[in-house]
Amino acid sequence: MSEMELYNLWLKNATNDPDLQAELTAIAGDGDAIRDRFYRELEFGTGGLRGVIGAGTNRMNIYTVRRATQGFADYLNQEYTNPSVAVSFDSRIKSDVFSKAAAEVLSANGIKVYIYNELMPTPCLSFAVRELKCQGGIMVTASHNPAKYNGYKVYGDDGCQITLRGAEIILEKINSLDIFNDVKTSSFEEEVAKGNICYIGQEVIEAFYDKVLAEGINTELCAGSGLKVVYTPLNGTGNKPVREILKRIGISNVTVVKEQENPDGNFPTCPYPNPEIREALEVGLKYCKEVQPDLLLATDPDCDRVGIAVPDGNGGYALFSGNEVGAMLLEYICQQRIKNGTMPENPVTIKTIVTTDIINLIGKEYGVEVIDVLTGFKFIGEQIKILEDKGEENRYIFGFEESYGYLSGTYVRDKDAVNASMLICEMASYYRTQGITLLQARENMYKKYGVFFQTLHSFTFEGESGMKKMNEIMNTLRNDPPAEIAGLKVVRFDDYKTSVSRDNLTGTETEITLPKSNVLAFFLEGGSKVIVRPSGTEPKIKTYFTSKMPTHEEAEALETKLSGELTKIFKKDQNVRFMSVHFL
């Protein structure tokens, strides 16, 4: 169908949501607005859906959610007998509406539904899948995206985001469905009355808290450490669980950022609620000027990521990157578990390929095996499952990705900012009792292992032509890779889509054993690196730069040269928006 034909079809059939009808009526005669909403179907990627909230096939609404859920239900009924699904949602606009819509479709397909009766973090969804022995899970969230977005993550029976195989089958089933005629649905209230939809009780939440607390190493030090914390949940789901866990380990001096305390999908003081971005922490940093805490904690709306800032020694606060916090947590865990005699034999840590290589040096220092996986915490979860299947899950001590996601236990299979907030506060408390600030601990780490300066540059490609432009850039880099970047030779080129790693010095090619993915990695002389990949959920190309040099100044100068060359390529098109995040 043409965009106009689809528009008219929706105008006639999308009658269950007055907001959608109002939007469709408002864009009548606006060809560009109609085209943008109907030129494609919202893509069901490897993790689920994510898009702008609104009317149309290219938007998040009850109809696209129902259709995706019907495909998921068909998959579950094909793979399992009497399957059940856990459902959760965050504070975003219509998250509660979409979660109920998904529950209604699942129940109409004979699938038992367990749903939280209030917004809960992503890790609590992963935990509920495992705790209630469900065969699947749905988390309604767009993580840290702006307010106009919402999304829908699908989980498998291990509490990990759905496998590549599962996602392919679900997508095939979704594509066979007519959005208005092939989707079964039911009444939420009637299904609750029948017992087909059940609310998840407090006992599951308490079991989650117990598992988080069990990951503590020196939590007994926290109450007497005098640690002072400012915390912001960024108007999301972290407010209750993070504060409860900090209370239970004895961190009582916690000041909550009032403007960002309560759930609000409009994020009025934080247009981009991503703790990777300084803008998201600005209100919290203003609190820090008055409160003068040892630590600022910020969790994103679905509470699977956490960012921090610490006193910089000059009256201000320094933001730490996800790479820095993850590396510091790994070293802390290794040191203290060895000291306490709780380090397992043949310990394992898992990181993504775009995460700092300082982890390899820390692993070598403490005898920890480092496993690299593709970008996305689901691949860390899959490795935990592999260990579990061999009866070796106790070998896993920590996993993290550079985008502020951490996990130290196997009780969930996604990143957990509740767990990470506890560990960060415990680590800060421990160092405080030793007379060491987190800033000093970071500098000690870099003195020991060297300086790894890292940045992420994101390039957003606007409009209908955005995806085409992204593909052209990736194809050019893949088929005609540069021999050098910023004057440094490319000594190795890895193409994760073709599974080929080429040593440019010898011409030797070896196979990459990770799953195929549209990722390119350029290894430079001297240990620096550039990784390029398109986002799986947004019209973005993400470029990760690592500059390894003896000093901070030299590393920053090299990063400027490296990023400058790639930026020229990406910004040739005027419809490209640019954003940079510095990691250090």
The two tokens of residue 449 are 């292992």
The DSSP line for 26-85 is: HTTT-HHHHHHHHSSPPP--SSEEEEEBSSSTTSBSHHHHHHHHHHHHHHHHHH-SS-EE
Tokens, residue 395: 């070998």
Which tokens hold the place of 289? 């000027």
- With DSSP H G I counted as helix, E B as strand and the rest as coil, what are the percentages for the chain, rounded to 5? 40, 20, 35
- Secondary structure (H, E, C), 278-342: HHHHHHHHHHHHHHCCCEEEEECCCCCCEEEEEECCCCCEEEECHHHHHHHHHHHHHHHHHHHCC
Rounded CA gap, 360 and 529, in Å?
Answer: 15
d(CA 267, CA 346): 44
Distance of CA 340 to the CA centre of its chain: 32
Rounded distance between C-alpha atoms, residue 116 and residue 110, angstroms? 19
Active site residue 143: yes
Instruction: Specify the DSSP element, H or E, that contains 490.
Output: strand 488-495
Question: How far is CA 278 from each of CA 88, 112, 232, 446, 454, rounded to the nearest angstrom?
Answer: 28, 42, 13, 23, 16
Which of 267, 388, 390, 408 is CA-nearest to residue 337?
408
| Cβ atoms within 10 Å, residue 553 | 11
Catalytic pick among 88, 95, 107, 143: 143
Which residues are annotated as catalytic?
143
